[in-house]
Amino acid sequence: MSNQQFRDAMAHLPAGVAVISARLGDDYRGLTASSLVSISLDPPMVLAGLERDSATRAAVVETRAFNVSVLTRTQEFIADRFAGRAPSFDPLWRTLPHRLGANGIPLLEDCAAWLECRLVQVHEAGDHDICVGEVTAAAVGSGDPLILWDRTFWTLH
């Protein structure tokens, strides 16, 4: 099997899109992620697959914490910016409305939902790390979700 066959098959699994954020001192970091999965109810836990060479992953592992901002259909441009696909003339966070969670890590405004997480486990998985977070806060916003399918962003309607 080629790597391309694997990518093509997985592109047909629809996924939600979130920004996973972390903070190292005054350095706010974040990446667009479609690998977020709810994994345990008691205690509440999620996992995210983070690229080994990602700056966000490094901050998550060092500080043992991360936040999740679930993107809406109007936030496609944010998904592109946090994936490094859109030109960014400013430091990413300066131009985007955000607030700090109780854990001090930024959360984007106007999202479909938010989570704050304490990193409890890290498992190596190929070129990614599976980062398991215990959810310490969760909230629901509004708006239709942004959905990734067949390498394109969609929404429900």
Ligand X SMILES: Cc1cc2nc3c(=O)[nH]c(=O)nc-3n(C[C@H](O)[C@H](O)[C@H](O)COP(=O)(O)O)c2cc1C
Q: Which is nearer to ligand X, 49 or 145 (CB)?
A: 49
How far apart are alpha carbons 57 and 46 in whole angstroms?
Answer: 15
Binding site for ligand X (CB under 6 A): 17, 29, 31-35, 49-51, 54-56, 79, 82-84, 148
Q: Report CA 92 to chain centroid distance, whole Å.
A: 15
Shortest distance in whole angstroms from residue 138 CB to ligand X: 19
Q: How far is the CB of 85 from ligand X (least distance, A)?
A: 6
Cβ 8 to ligand X, closest distance in Å? 15
| Residue closer to ligand X (CB basis): 4 or 42 | 4
Angle at 88 between CA 151 and CA 117, to 5 degrees: 70
Which CB, 25 or 42, lies closer to ligand X? 25
Q: How far is CA 84 from the centre of its chain?
A: 13
Q: Which residues pair with 132 in a beta bridge?
A: 47, 121
